Amino acid sequence: DADVTQTPRNRITKTGKRIMLECSQTKGHDRMYWYRQDPGLGLRLIYYSFDVKDINKGEISDGYSVSRQAQAKFSLSLESAIPNQTALYFCATSDLPGDTDTQYFGPGTRLTVL
């Protein structure tokens, strides 16, 4: 079983709809992240959470909100989706900073907003 899972894997929605993307992890990591990836722009950080009570905005948080329901779950919401939020969204986890700071990514959610 995958250590980091995301649901749904694909979603097509309409402008103005509320959308929630969910992320779960079984790695026992405290830190979780949400990124979006657009062609030519790389991955950009939307929100990150270093533990259940600590949530922080990333570089592109406008139009998004998050909820850290438990250590293992971190959800991303688009309150009113717009077409320029069409992208590939990744959730990631990491342990406390160490020698590698490795982040482990989920398989991604491909979101299309019409």
Partner 1 sequence: RKEVEQDPGPFNVPEGATVAFNCTYSNSASQSFFWYRQDCRKEPKLLMSVYSSGNEDGRFTAQLNRASQYISLLIRDSKLSDSATYLCVVNMGNAGGTSYGKLTFGQGTILTVHP
Which residues of this chain interact with partner 1, rule CB under 8 A? 31, 33, 35, 40-45, 48, 50, 58, 90, 94, 96-103, 105-108
CB-wise, 16 or 28, nearer to partner 1? 28
Q: Least Å distance between CB 6 and partner 1? A: 9
Sequence-distant (6+) residues with CB within 8 A of 43 are: 35, 36, 37, 90
> 99 with 80: CB under 8 angstroms?
no
Q: Which amino acid is at 48?
A: Y
- How far apart CA 9 and CA 79 sit, in angstroms, is 19
Q: Least Å distance between CB 94 and partner 1? A: 6
- How far apart CA 25 and CA 90 sit, in angstroms, is 13
Q: Which amino acid is at 72?
A: A
CB-wise, 43 or 72, nearer to partner 1? 43
Sign of the torsion angle spanned by Cα atoms 109, 11, 72, 44: positive
CB-wise, 26 or 80, nearer to partner 1? 26
CB-wise, 48 or 64, nearer to partner 1? 48
Q: Least Å distance between CB 89 and partner 1? A: 11
Q: Least Å distance between CB 48 and partner 1? A: 6
